Structure 1
Amino acid sequence: MSASSKILLAVLAAFLVPPGGLRAEDAPRGPAIEAKGIPGPYGERLTIDDKGITLTFPNDSMALRIGGRLHLDFGVAGIRQSGFGDPFSDTIAVRRSWIEATLSLGKDVGLGFQYDFADPVTPINDAVLVYRGVPDMLFSIGNEKEPFGLDQLASNNNVLFTERALSDAFVPARNFGFAVGRHGKDWSVVTGVFGGNANTGIGTEGIASTSRVTYAPINDDHRTLHVGLAGSYRDLPRDESPLSLSSRSEAFLYTRRFVDTGDIRDAASIARLGAELAYRSGPLLVSAEYTRTEIGRFDGAKPLKFQGGYVQASWVLNGDNRAYRMAPDFNGTSYAVFGGVKVAEAQRITRGGFGVFELGLRFSAIDLDDGGIRGGIERDGTVGLSWYPDTNIRIMADYVRSHTSPSALQNGRTIDADTFIGRFQLYW
């Protein structure tokens, strides 16, 4: 597909999308650039603010929002052992370059679409139709995230570090399917059936059933205690499409993956079980996840079992902590997640302030060694600092210390690496 065709597709797709389905609602917000908007001849109104460009029609009969995000990464890395070469092929790269849009039809129906110009393989992210006409329920169909993983279901605008933890390698992420969710004041349940990804073939990766339940026994404006459990089972076709699991050491710029199962050609199924725990108190947020994955195999071969997890903490040094969101507006599966850091009007540098600062710490691990598979075992420690100078702007700096022993490279050699990753993030 040519570049011009991709642009045309993205523009046309902007008319197919949900408020909230693209997670722009989690972004820090400020006052509208055009508070009252520009009126049109038929009662419509055009506004430009920190949520993007929004066209609304009388009586809220229809609203179209067009936004986007740009994540620009830069960094350096060093491997302490000799003979591995340069870890990065480039020291700067566009991580994401999205155009996204939401179209709401009244209060109950919405469509959402995201297109990433920086990803030539899977450029379509959300492409989903949602219906929320039943109280406390939401139905969705399309390419969307399977309901699995506290950190995965959060917007990539709002995750604590530039990349999610090592154990995110086990999370199914986005695929095409149908989901239904229901929530109360302190609980949520969502389940769905999914095929393959819309970019690579809906019917090529078997069928999965994925569900997630959460409960928040403590949940007010200042404190939240969250527990969650997710499960997924996917039946894989017996064809020439192998299964593989790997992680890029929590830095997008790495050219090689230190842990990688390689192709598992006799994989018959993949089952996942994930546990979540999070506690928020004032400016402090601590969260942890553990994921166990079992791969069934054809012809009676012994199943493969892998595992991973993380513990992380964030401290907002001079602002409010991340809000807990029990139910999404127009996103089918992102129940019970934490949003982004918000910048108060007086803290914006354009208003004479200094922005908001957030400190993060994380320990993560992954084990891809079992049976005849020698995918490696890695443990990472990360410290990061984020600066939010204004609404819709974030500047990040992460240091990652990783230890992989054995690795998936050079017959299992030990790898110790030091990585610095920075990111300039713009989203609206």
Structure 2
Amino acid sequence: MKSVRMLMQCALGMGVSVTASAYDLNQWPTRYTSPDGTQWNITGNYQYDAMFARHNAVIEDAHTHRRKEFGLSARKQGQWDAIVYFDFQSKSWLDVFWRVNSQWLFGKDYGQIRLGHSKPQVGFEGGTASRANSFVEMALPMQAFFETRRTGIDWAFERPRYLLNLGYYFASDLNGNNDGNTVTARAAWTPRKQQADVLHLGLSASLEHPHGSTDGRGVYTPASVRWRARPEAGLTDVRLIDTGSLSHVHSNRRLGFEGLWIHGPLSLQGEYLQARSLRQQGLPGYVGDGYYLFVSYVLTGESRTYAGGNVGNVIPARPWGAVELLLRHSALNLDHDPINGGHQHDLTLGVNWYLTQHFKFQANYVEARASQQGVQQHPSITELRAQVYF
């Protein structure tokens, strides 16, 4: 209960200060433009979470810092942009890249080219910035199948009615994990792309070839993969369903279908994701899949924002902020004979309070239903988050 009181006191204090000086809180001095027109930005995202579980003796209550992200970005309008971003909580590198506009390089617009450490574009919710997550945690299939940041090069081409992404990731991430290479492709049809009026339908796919490793004694360990997901609760390491480690993996193929509709304060978002592992040494292959669908309604009349093929936070129009209600259903099936990874369904109710463009509070209630090898588990989880982002 101490963590709950802390979050409530923080919310009350922020609410009072916002009412007194909302303009100042929306105009933070985090940006500087040099004489040559280069814009420099300090960017960050801090989240403090509390979690309370019922009907499961393994998942323990917890409260701690969820993210401490901090970075520096620079932009030359119409030419290039770059960022260096690090999470001091997980001690891991996030986005570290340089992106250029082809118009500046070639005199004609062929899209944008990015070189560095970034997210492969398979998974709409996974591609959403952590500061803009609609729920406290990502849906089950995204947790299980989304491929985290890799080092490589990608190309983005956006027009009023469509967008295209191609990527080749040729090295591990900057934290020294995920050796191998990945090729990705994404296409989306966007016939409606105005403020409060968005329709986005997309398809994405990737082919990953993971590499094995050799230790100091010269012993080689073949590449492996493990598909699993937390019960949409990030402060626990418990997974209710899990394939275990699948050895001798030749390749992992991911496929995704994504959809988003925003109509004023109402929006719908959903995805279907599939992961397929091909294995060597005569071992059986594996296929798992899942989906989620959620509805969002902003009670105060604002709309979810959309740009660059993904969504952002609601921008409040009132001194006391904006309030959003959400309901999500997600499902994940990790059973594929002879691998009994289990299957799970979650129902999540969410409330978001956007005090300003920089302060956000979230509350989620998750009802999970999991089954693996005949073992049934039905935990209920309450999650709270206080967030500052800029």
TM-score, length of structure 1 as denominator length: 0.79
2:386 partner SS: strand
**Map of 1:288-367 to 2, 5 A cutoff?**
288-325=270-307, 327=308, 336-344=309-317, 347-348=318-319, 354-367=320-333
Instruction: State whether structure 2 residue 121 is matched by structure 1 residue 155.
Output: no
Q: Distance in 1 between matches of 2:346 and 2:294?
A: 11
Between the aligned partners of 2:193 and 2:72, the Cα distance in structure 1 is 31
Query: Where does structure 1 differ by over 4 angstroms across 4 or more consecutive aligned residues?
Result: 30-33
Which of 159, 174, 179 is 1:184 aligned to? 159
Q: For residue 373 of structure 1, what is the aligned residue in structure 2?
A: 339
1:93 & 1:86 partners in 2: Cα distance? 18
**TM-aligned CA deviation for residue 343 of structure 1:** 1.3
Higher strand share: 2
Aligned residue number for residue 55 of structure 1:
32
CA distance in 1, matches of 2:87, 2:329: 30
Query: Match of 1:63, as an amino acid?
Result: Q
Q: Are the aligned partners of 1:319 and 1:343 in contact in 2 as well (CA < 8 Å)? A: no
Quote the residue 1:332 is aligned against. none
CA shift, 1:254, in A, is: 1.9
Q: For the residues of structure 2 that align with 1:275 and 1:59, how far apart are their CA atoms?
A: 43
Give the corresponding residue for 1:118: 89
Alignment partners' CA distance in 2, 1:67 and 1:99: 6
Question: Percent identity over the alignment?
Answer: 25
Corresponding position of 1:416? 378
**Partner amino acid for 1:98?**
E
Mapping of 1:201-280 within 5 angstroms?
201=176, 205-239=179-213, 240=221, 241-280=223-262
Q: Deviations for 1:289-340, whole angstroms, at most 9, x for unmatched residues?
A: 0011110000233310100110001100003111221x3xxxxxxxx11221
Give the corresponding residue for 1:194.
169
| Corresponding residue SS for 1:230 | strand
Letter in 2 for 1:187: Y
Q: What's the counterpart of residue 45 of structure 1?
A: none
Which whole-Å deviations, capped at 9, do the CAs of 1:330-361 have from their partners, x for residues lacking one?
xxxxxx112210012xx12xxxxx32100000
Equivalent position SS for 1:379 = strand
1:287 corresponds, among 260, 269, 283, to: 269
Cα distance in structure 2, aligned partners of 1:424 and 1:366: 28
- 8 Å Cα contact 1:238-1:268 kept in structure 2: no
- For 1:185 and 1:285, how far apart are their aligned partners in 2? 20
Q: In the aligned structure 2, how far is the partner of 1:261 from the partner of 1:96? A: 28
Q: Secondary structure at the match of 2:126?
A: helix
* Residue type of the alignment partner of 2:88: F
| Distance verdict in 2 for CA 1:105–1:218, change over 3 Å | closer
Q: Deviations over 1:44-94 (max 9, x none)?
A: xxxx934x522211241x2221121111100200125xxxx3412x52011
Shift of 1:427: 0.6
For the residues of structure 2 that align with 1:389 and 1:63, how far apart are their CA atoms? 27
Between the aligned partners of 1:198 and 1:237, the Cα distance in structure 2 is 13
Q: Answer yes or no: is the 8 Å Cα contact 1:187–1:214 preserved in 2.
A: yes
CA distance in 1, matches of 2:245, 2:97: 31
| Partner of residue 17, structure 2 | none
C-alpha deviation, 1:370, in angstroms: 1.1
Residue 61 (structure 2) pairs with residue 95 (structure 1): no
Give, in angstroms, the shift of residue 136 of structure 1: 5.7
On the 8 A contact 2:348/2:367 being kept in 1, the answer is yes
Conserved in 1, the CA contact under 8 Å of 2:345 and 2:369?
A: yes
- CA–CA separation in structure 1 for the residues paired with 2:135 and 2:286: 30
Q: Give me the whole-angstrom Cα distance separating, in 2, the residues matched to 1:322 and 1:136.
A: 29
2:315 and 2:359 map into 1 onto residues whose CA distance is 10
Give ranges in structure 1 of 5+ residues lacking alignment. Answer: 1-29, 34-47, 328-335, 349-353
CA RMSD, 1 decimal: 1.9
Match of 2:15 in 1: none
Q: CA deviation at 1:196?
A: 4.4
- Structure 2 residue 368 is the aligned partner of structure 1 residue 386: no
- State the AA in 2 paired with 1:49: Q
Distance 2:69 2:364 in 1: 23
Cα contact 1:148–1:173 (8 A) shared by 2: no
| Contact 1:176–1:196, Cα closer than 8 Å, also in 2 | yes
> SS state of the match for residue 375, structure 2?
coil
- Give the residue type in structure 1 aligned to 2:59: P
C-alpha separation in 2, matches of 1:64 and 1:197? 28
- Opposite residue 352 of structure 2, the aligned amino acid is S
Matched with 2:361 is 395
Shift of 1:267: 1.4
* Contact 1:136–1:184 (Cα < 8 Å) also in 2: no
Question: Which ranges of structure 2 fall in alignment gaps of 5 or more residues?
Answer: 1-21, 104-108, 214-220
Q: Residues 383, 68 of structure 1: CA spacing in aligned structure 2 closer, same or farther, 3 A cutoff? A: same
Q: Is the 8 A contact 2:350 2:365 kept in 1?
A: yes
